Structure 1
């Protein structure tokens, strides 16, 4: 190709930015446009990571440097499938990479899960992270809460529920979230895992962070510290699992510290039913036991827990993208090394995927780098066979969006919004205060 390869990346979260980084550093001359549905970039970092995780949010510094390069453009507040369609993207780009991640809650099929007072963790995370497309209030009325799942998201949800609002005031939470958490009457948060401590999915860092609050006592039942041969093999094979298990063992035998709020970690409890008539009044779990290989089976012994709200944190699920094949069972786009495949397993020319929409919502943020490297390698291998864009002038897409009336934002616009949020936080000694309303984000971004 006699001109730079023009590539559109749909989704400006870590997966999309990592793909842009690797493509921009390749030997192939490129021009890359990152499209983002939000007016601001960074996806999961901005709208999926708990506000009291400054170390993880520090990844933004590295992502910022990528977006600051001259060969990469950010085009925000553009919704694929509404503002732009696939055939329209093909006019302007030689290839399209989808990196839209996963933001919906995976369903949990148990009786009562749809009762009022039963929530998906992703919705709660979006609320406390100030996502512009969710309600500004959250019904925090329960004194005792159940969180289903033992991954990092479950611990984030449990920690935010258990902490006092004042403990989070030093973070970037917006005023509406602070006021909501301040009014919460919660005293007990119960986290339930179906299997044992050695099978927990959270990381040692996430686990230890639960114990940092001076207002929250973390409790582990000594009866839940149990291992079979499969569990011991997992502990021997993984330093992370060993660290998690040792921390839980220490907490199970330590003396009470009589703190005003309690966060209970329960293992070997499989959710069986959400109880209630018109609203959540309890949770029924079945006690499980190890089978020798690290798996569990039900014992037929049930326990009812007095809770008034239930949050399911059993995994995220990607959403079906318009005009793109989708496997509804796995929540991923069928692909081979990042090349999108149609129903007959033939390659869809010029269309690629990376990140959670490619492999499912598993692993940490850094794991998306491997996905991106594989996808970019496939794209570059296909470069000579790609159908060239018919409207390949760099500004043609901007003119198209203007004509369509799409109020898009840019990298310079993010700079204005970033500076504005930091100015809101400065008088309070905070790094920033996040702007929540989309219209306000657009007003500030567009100057």
Structure 2
């Protein structure tokens, strides 16, 4: 069976390879545009062979820049997979995420009532600047004395973020309707979101933290989403206080920020595994309270994905591993801070490397280039299927204070990750490989 080849520059038409006769699905040609943990995992996968950029590939772990330049100019065979949906920014750009969530909440209120719409109240009051500057000012004046946080809509790792309490600090984003289009273009500033700062975060040892959780979407039509059991809490290196809003080491938990702190200790790291956090919270607040908290976090994943389901361009060749950032307040209410299309895969410690390696191995298991799954699995490694064109449920549970016995979602975030045992049971060995 012949294969078409790529010709010309990066924007020329690309035709993915057809499989040769007798070439089993265990042979996968991959291309990888990153040089961190994912490169190690792909290199170690049995039967997978790395190819150069201009060669034919079956699997592409690319950055979003490559996707935007090449996807629309490519013809892909049935079996080919790429690690991004073409307009993933509808969920991962801060302004578009909020825009889609607001629209979804209005739709729910109109079609299902206020109680159902209230289940979307998990993101802080947010305005896009400069477009919504005057709306923001009205809200700002209604909440005098509150702290706000400014974030560039398309940057990551804490870059460009600052806190403020005075309008004079954001005059650069004031939209002046009296200027001409040419003047506005000449003086155009980068788009930001202004967001109510969560002034009462849940603290451990006086320090603020947020959660990094991984959700894998393999289809938007119908929506099919998996939640990974492992993740981590990222801590600030400095005790929390609102007395100084200029200290980024107090307020920003991004590892890229914290590792630049003068007292940062790379041996100690600034992370807890989610299992450790769940044990801590359970010991302090009880199992029922923590179960309710994690159900609320599940709700954030599902509602946010449903909010973009109709606008994401679904493609059978695409999947997406999202990194969700969740903040808890003192009342154990979870807040969605942002969603990342390219969550950092660079490890900050050996424990972090092992967790991310397992996460990526299991992502490849779910994507299943080798064709070893039946499509009916509810668990693959550390991933649990939480939505498959509707909620996926697991065993019935009962807590006295929660009322009658009820089904609960098929998610085990922060619970024991029995991935090795599960994979031995689930997956057939690769050709020439013995079962462990």
Report the TM-score when normalising by structure 1.
0.28
Q: Greater relative contact order: 1 or 2 (C-alpha under 8 angstroms, separation 6 or more)?
A: 1
Q: TM-score, normalised by structure 2?
A: 0.29
